[in-house]
Amino acid sequence: MGDEKVDLNSTLQVFGQPGFEALGYASKHFAHTPVDSVHQLYEELLERKTLTARALKSYVTEHYDYFIKTAKKVQSRSNEATGQQEGIEADVSRLHNLLFEYREAIQSLAEVSFSAEEVINENKELGGNVESGEATRGIKEASVEESVGELASLIAERQFENALAIIETGKRLDCIGS
């Protein structure tokens, strides 16, 4: 062991192996070398330690910029995730409000009971034609169930503005029907 060239490669070959055991290394060394060579082993190990420390310092210095860039990317992604979380929280709040309005609109639509035939007959009694204002709502055949299904789809697709438009239309129909 004292005859080996002391460099970084030989240091890694001896000490860099998985499962390296210092006690086993010392036992093996002193099995073939006299005990009075301890000072020589100490000098060799000190030199290997110095080589390893320099190599690590050099490696860290060479890769410092990469480390900083990576750390900045991690921080940036963390900030993005925080921003996305805040956006999600805002969406959830908005959805909660829309669902509240949705529930109110469904209740209003459920209270409005009419069929296309009733509207057409009522319109004829009033002397109007099928295309007039009050008859239009029945002819469109926008039943409450269809509106509910469409609202559910729009909300699931996160098309809140379109869902709100349907809710507002339902509110206007409720006002017309009253």
Rounded to the nearest integer, the mean pLDDT of the chain is 76
* pLDDT for position 103: 81
- Percent over 90 (pLDDT), the chain: 13
The answer to whether 146 and 164 have CB atoms below 8 angstroms apart is no
In angstroms, the CA 1 to CA 37 distance is 11
Residue 155's Cβ-count burial label (10 Å; 0-12, 13-18, 19+) is middle
Instruction: Please measure the distance between the N-terminal and C-terminal CA atoms of the chain and give it in whole angstroms.
Output: 102
In angstroms, the CA 85 to CA 155 distance is 19
pTM of the model: 0.38
Condensed to tens digits (0 to 9), the pLDDT of residues 92-101 reads: 888 888 888 8
Specify the amino acid at residue 44. Answer: E
Specify the amino acid at residue 154. Answer: L
Condensed to tens digits (0 to 9), the pLDDT of residues 115-155 reads: 555 655 665 666 554 444 444 444 344 456 677 777 778 77
